[in-house]
Structure 1
Amino acid sequence: MGTADRWLTVIALVSVPTVMVGGYTLMRLTAAGRLDAFQLALFRAGHAHAGVLLVLTLTALGIAARAGLSDPYTWVVGGLLAAGTISQSGGFFLHAAIGRPGAWSFGNTMTVGGAAALTAALLALAHGVATG
Protein backbone atom coordinates (compact mmCIF):
# COMPACT_ATOMS: atom_id res chain seq x y z
CA MET A 1 0.00 0.00 0.00
CA GLY A 2 1.40 3.38 -1.01
CA THR A 3 1.31 6.60 0.93
CA ALA A 4 -1.72 7.91 -0.96
CA ASP A 5 -3.71 4.69 -0.48
CA ARG A 6 -2.89 4.66 3.22
CA TRP A 7 -3.82 8.30 3.97
CA LEU A 8 -6.92 8.35 1.80
CA THR A 9 -8.11 5.14 3.46
CA VAL A 10 -7.52 6.65 6.91
CA ILE A 11 -9.51 9.76 5.92
CA ALA A 12 -12.40 7.64 4.61
CA LEU A 13 -12.43 5.43 7.71
CA VAL A 14 -12.40 8.45 10.03
CA SER A 15 -15.32 9.87 8.01
CA VAL A 16 -17.54 6.84 8.69
CA PRO A 17 -18.45 8.01 12.24
CA THR A 18 -19.72 11.28 10.76
CA VAL A 19 -22.27 9.28 8.80
CA MET A 20 -23.15 7.40 11.97
CA VAL A 21 -23.74 10.71 13.79
CA GLY A 22 -25.86 11.78 10.81
CA GLY A 23 -28.02 8.70 11.26
CA TYR A 24 -28.46 9.49 14.93
CA THR A 25 -29.32 13.10 14.07
CA LEU A 26 -31.86 11.94 11.48
CA MET A 27 -33.46 9.66 14.06
CA ARG A 28 -33.66 12.46 16.65
CA LEU A 29 -35.06 15.04 14.22
CA THR A 30 -37.62 12.56 12.93
CA ALA A 31 -38.73 11.57 16.44
CA ALA A 32 -39.07 15.24 17.39
CA GLY A 33 -41.15 15.99 14.28
CA ARG A 34 -38.73 18.76 13.24
CA LEU A 35 -38.55 17.82 9.56
CA ASP A 36 -41.32 18.17 7.01
CA ALA A 37 -41.81 15.41 4.43
CA PHE A 38 -39.66 17.23 1.84
CA GLN A 39 -36.77 17.70 4.27
CA LEU A 40 -37.06 14.17 5.61
CA ALA A 41 -36.82 12.61 2.14
CA LEU A 42 -33.75 14.69 1.29
CA PHE A 43 -32.08 14.07 4.66
CA ARG A 44 -32.54 10.33 4.17
CA ALA A 45 -31.16 10.51 0.63
CA GLY A 46 -28.12 12.53 1.74
CA HIS A 47 -27.42 10.18 4.62
CA ALA A 48 -27.77 7.05 2.48
CA HIS A 49 -25.59 8.45 -0.29
CA ALA A 50 -22.88 9.44 2.19
CA GLY A 51 -22.69 5.94 3.64
CA VAL A 52 -22.78 4.09 0.35
CA LEU A 53 -20.28 6.42 -1.28
CA LEU A 54 -17.84 6.00 1.61
CA VAL A 55 -18.03 2.24 1.11
CA LEU A 56 -17.45 2.81 -2.63
CA THR A 57 -14.44 5.00 -1.79
CA LEU A 58 -12.92 2.35 0.47
CA THR A 59 -13.46 -0.29 -2.20
CA ALA A 60 -11.96 1.91 -4.92
CA LEU A 61 -8.92 2.68 -2.77
CA GLY A 62 -8.41 -1.04 -2.20
CA ILE A 63 -8.56 -1.59 -5.95
CA ALA A 64 -6.04 1.21 -6.51
CA ALA A 65 -3.68 -0.35 -3.96
CA ARG A 66 -3.95 -3.85 -5.47
CA ALA A 67 -3.42 -2.45 -8.96
CA GLY A 68 -0.26 -0.70 -7.80
CA LEU A 69 -1.28 2.72 -9.09
CA SER A 70 1.23 5.51 -8.50
CA ASP A 71 0.74 7.84 -5.55
CA PRO A 72 -0.02 10.90 -7.74
CA TYR A 73 -2.61 8.91 -9.72
CA THR A 74 -4.17 7.59 -6.51
CA TRP A 75 -4.29 11.11 -5.02
CA VAL A 76 -6.23 12.31 -8.07
CA VAL A 77 -8.67 9.38 -7.89
CA GLY A 78 -9.03 9.79 -4.11
CA GLY A 79 -9.51 13.53 -4.37
CA LEU A 80 -12.25 13.08 -6.95
CA LEU A 81 -13.90 10.42 -4.80
CA ALA A 82 -13.81 12.68 -1.73
CA ALA A 83 -15.09 15.73 -3.61
CA GLY A 84 -17.78 13.66 -5.28
CA THR A 85 -18.95 12.03 -2.06
CA ILE A 86 -19.10 15.33 -0.18
CA SER A 87 -20.81 17.15 -3.07
CA GLN A 88 -23.30 14.45 -3.97
CA SER A 89 -24.49 13.74 -0.43
CA GLY A 90 -24.07 17.33 0.77
CA GLY A 91 -26.20 18.59 -2.09
CA PHE A 92 -29.18 16.70 -0.72
CA PHE A 93 -28.73 18.32 2.70
CA LEU A 94 -28.29 21.76 1.17
CA HIS A 95 -31.39 21.37 -0.97
CA ALA A 96 -33.34 20.33 2.14
CA ALA A 97 -32.18 23.53 3.83
CA ILE A 98 -32.62 26.07 1.02
CA GLY A 99 -34.67 24.37 -1.70
CA ARG A 100 -38.35 24.04 -2.40
CA PRO A 101 -40.26 21.06 -3.78
CA GLY A 102 -40.21 21.11 -7.57
CA ALA A 103 -37.67 23.94 -7.77
CA TRP A 104 -33.94 23.77 -8.58
CA SER A 105 -31.45 25.01 -5.99
CA PHE A 106 -27.69 25.12 -5.60
CA GLY A 107 -28.07 21.86 -3.65
CA ASN A 108 -29.23 20.16 -6.86
CA THR A 109 -26.24 21.60 -8.69
CA MET A 110 -23.90 20.26 -5.99
CA THR A 111 -25.44 16.80 -6.27
CA VAL A 112 -24.98 16.75 -10.04
CA GLY A 113 -21.40 18.02 -9.70
CA GLY A 114 -20.72 15.29 -7.17
CA ALA A 115 -21.99 12.67 -9.59
CA ALA A 116 -19.67 14.07 -12.27
CA ALA A 117 -16.66 13.93 -9.91
CA LEU A 118 -17.50 10.35 -8.90
CA THR A 119 -17.86 9.35 -12.54
CA ALA A 120 -14.48 10.89 -13.36
CA ALA A 121 -12.88 9.09 -10.39
CA LEU A 122 -14.24 5.70 -11.37
CA LEU A 123 -13.32 6.12 -15.03
CA ALA A 124 -9.81 7.22 -14.04
CA LEU A 125 -9.52 4.23 -11.72
CA ALA A 126 -10.72 1.87 -14.46
CA HIS A 127 -8.18 3.38 -16.85
CA GLY A 128 -5.41 3.01 -14.31
CA VAL A 129 -6.29 -0.61 -13.62
CA ALA A 130 -6.61 -1.45 -17.33
CA THR A 131 -3.32 0.16 -18.33
CA GLY A 132 -1.39 -0.24 -15.08
Structure 2
Amino acid sequence: MEPAEVLPIVSLLSIVTVEFGGHALLRFITTDRDKLGELRERFFRAGHAHAGVLLMLTLVYFLYLPRARYSDGLEWTFGAILLAGVLAQSGGFFVHLGIGQVGARSAGTTLTRVGALLIAVALIALSAGLIHEL
Protein backbone atom coordinates (compact mmCIF):
# COMPACT_ATOMS: atom_id res chain seq x y z
CA MET A 1 0.00 0.00 0.00
CA GLU A 2 1.09 3.51 -0.73
CA PRO A 3 1.88 5.91 2.15
CA ALA A 4 -0.56 8.49 0.78
CA GLU A 5 -3.32 5.86 0.99
CA VAL A 6 -2.61 4.59 4.52
CA LEU A 7 -1.48 7.68 6.42
CA PRO A 8 -4.69 9.69 5.85
CA ILE A 9 -6.66 6.78 7.32
CA VAL A 10 -4.52 6.99 10.46
CA SER A 11 -5.25 10.72 10.63
CA LEU A 12 -8.98 10.26 10.15
CA LEU A 13 -9.19 7.59 12.83
CA SER A 14 -7.17 9.83 15.15
CA ILE A 15 -9.76 12.56 14.69
CA VAL A 16 -12.27 10.23 16.37
CA THR A 17 -10.12 10.36 19.52
CA VAL A 18 -10.16 14.15 19.35
CA GLU A 19 -13.95 14.06 19.17
CA PHE A 20 -14.01 11.89 22.29
CA GLY A 21 -11.66 14.38 23.95
CA GLY A 22 -14.06 17.19 23.09
CA HIS A 23 -16.87 15.29 24.74
CA ALA A 24 -14.73 14.71 27.84
CA LEU A 25 -13.74 18.39 27.94
CA LEU A 26 -17.37 19.47 27.80
CA ARG A 27 -18.22 17.05 30.59
CA PHE A 28 -15.41 18.39 32.77
CA ILE A 29 -16.37 22.00 32.13
CA THR A 30 -20.06 21.49 32.80
CA THR A 31 -19.90 19.09 35.76
CA ASP A 32 -16.41 18.90 37.27
CA ARG A 33 -14.98 22.36 36.59
CA ASP A 34 -13.83 22.89 40.16
CA LYS A 35 -12.04 19.53 40.18
CA LEU A 36 -10.16 20.29 36.97
CA GLY A 37 -8.84 23.70 38.01
CA GLU A 38 -7.82 26.64 35.83
CA LEU A 39 -4.35 25.35 34.81
CA ARG A 40 -5.60 21.92 33.86
CA GLU A 41 -8.60 23.31 32.02
CA ARG A 42 -6.34 25.60 29.96
CA PHE A 43 -3.98 22.78 29.03
CA PHE A 44 -6.86 20.39 28.30
CA ARG A 45 -8.31 22.95 25.89
CA ALA A 46 -4.92 23.66 24.32
CA GLY A 47 -4.11 19.98 23.80
CA HIS A 48 -7.52 19.27 22.37
CA ALA A 49 -7.47 22.27 20.01
CA HIS A 50 -3.94 21.59 18.80
CA ALA A 51 -4.74 17.94 18.13
CA GLY A 52 -7.80 18.81 16.04
CA VAL A 53 -6.18 21.53 13.97
CA LEU A 54 -2.94 19.65 13.43
CA LEU A 55 -4.73 16.48 12.36
CA MET A 56 -6.56 18.55 9.74
CA LEU A 57 -3.13 19.78 8.62
CA THR A 58 -2.02 16.16 8.14
CA LEU A 59 -4.90 15.53 5.74
CA VAL A 60 -3.77 18.42 3.54
CA TYR A 61 -0.15 17.33 3.89
CA PHE A 62 -0.97 13.84 2.65
CA LEU A 63 -2.73 15.27 -0.40
CA TYR A 64 0.43 17.13 -1.39
CA LEU A 65 3.01 14.53 -0.37
CA PRO A 66 2.78 12.48 -3.63
CA ARG A 67 3.33 15.67 -5.64
CA ALA A 68 6.82 15.99 -4.12
CA ARG A 69 7.72 12.73 -5.90
CA TYR A 70 9.68 11.29 -3.01
CA SER A 71 10.28 7.54 -2.82
CA ASP A 72 7.78 5.49 -0.82
CA GLY A 73 10.37 5.17 1.93
CA LEU A 74 10.73 8.93 2.26
CA GLU A 75 6.97 9.43 2.10
CA TRP A 76 6.54 6.94 4.97
CA THR A 77 9.34 8.66 6.89
CA PHE A 78 8.04 12.21 6.47
CA GLY A 79 4.47 11.11 7.14
CA ALA A 80 5.54 9.34 10.33
CA ILE A 81 7.55 12.37 11.42
CA LEU A 82 4.51 14.59 10.90
CA LEU A 83 2.15 12.27 12.80
CA ALA A 84 4.69 11.85 15.62
CA GLY A 85 5.02 15.62 15.79
CA VAL A 86 1.26 16.09 16.02
CA LEU A 87 1.01 13.48 18.78
CA ALA A 88 3.96 14.96 20.65
CA GLN A 89 2.86 18.57 20.39
CA SER A 90 -0.74 18.01 21.44
CA GLY A 91 0.21 15.22 23.85
CA GLY A 92 2.67 17.49 25.61
CA PHE A 93 -0.21 19.69 26.73
CA PHE A 94 -1.89 16.65 28.31
CA VAL A 95 1.34 15.54 29.99
CA HIS A 96 1.75 19.04 31.44
CA LEU A 97 -1.89 18.93 32.52
CA GLY A 98 -1.05 15.87 34.61
CA ILE A 99 2.33 16.81 36.07
CA GLY A 100 2.91 20.51 35.41
CA GLN A 101 2.91 23.40 37.82
CA VAL A 102 1.95 27.03 37.19
CA GLY A 103 4.86 28.97 35.68
CA ALA A 104 7.20 25.96 35.58
CA ARG A 105 8.47 23.77 32.77
CA SER A 106 7.74 20.07 32.72
CA ALA A 107 8.27 17.03 30.54
CA GLY A 108 5.03 18.07 28.88
CA THR A 109 6.33 21.45 27.75
CA THR A 110 9.48 19.77 26.42
CA LEU A 111 7.36 17.22 24.54
CA THR A 112 5.28 20.04 23.04
CA ARG A 113 8.44 21.74 21.77
CA VAL A 114 9.82 18.51 20.32
CA GLY A 115 6.49 18.01 18.55
CA ALA A 116 6.71 21.47 17.02
CA LEU A 117 10.20 20.71 15.72
CA LEU A 118 9.08 17.41 14.18
CA ILE A 119 6.15 19.15 12.47
CA ALA A 120 8.53 21.81 11.15
CA VAL A 121 10.89 19.13 9.76
CA ALA A 122 8.04 17.40 7.95
CA LEU A 123 6.69 20.68 6.53
CA ILE A 124 10.12 21.80 5.35
CA ALA A 125 10.71 18.40 3.72
CA LEU A 126 7.41 18.63 1.85
CA SER A 127 8.11 22.23 0.84
CA ALA A 128 11.55 21.28 -0.48
CA GLY A 129 10.08 18.44 -2.50
CA LEU A 130 7.38 20.65 -3.97
CA ILE A 131 9.88 23.37 -4.85
CA HIS A 132 12.13 20.79 -6.51
CA GLU A 133 9.21 19.69 -8.71
CA LEU A 134 8.47 23.22 -9.98
Instruction: Please give the TM-score of this superposition, normalised by the length of structure 2.
Output: 0.93
**Greater CA deviation, 68-77 or 89-98?**
68-77
Q: 1:130: Cα distance to partner?
A: 1.4
Structure 2 residue 73 is matched with structure 1 residue 72: yes
Aligned length: 131
Structure 2 residue 9 is matched with structure 1 residue 10: yes
C-alpha offsets along residues 48-87 of structure 1, whole Å, 9 cap, x if unaligned?
0000000011101101134443211211111111110000
| Cα RMSD after superposing both structures | 1.2
The answer for the alignment partner of 1:83 in structure 2 is 84
Instruction: Please give the TM-score of this superposition, normalised by the length of structure 1.
Output: 0.94
The answer for the alignment partner of 1:28 in structure 2 is 27
Q: Aligned ranges for residues 1-132 of structure 1 at < 5 Å?
A: 3-32=2-31, 33=33, 34-132=35-133
- In structure 2, what residue type is equivalent to 1:28? R
- In structure 1, what residue type is equivalent to 2:44? F
Q: 1:18: Cα distance to partner?
A: 0.4
Structure 1 gaps of 5+ residues are: none
Contact 2:88 2:114 in 1 (8 A): yes
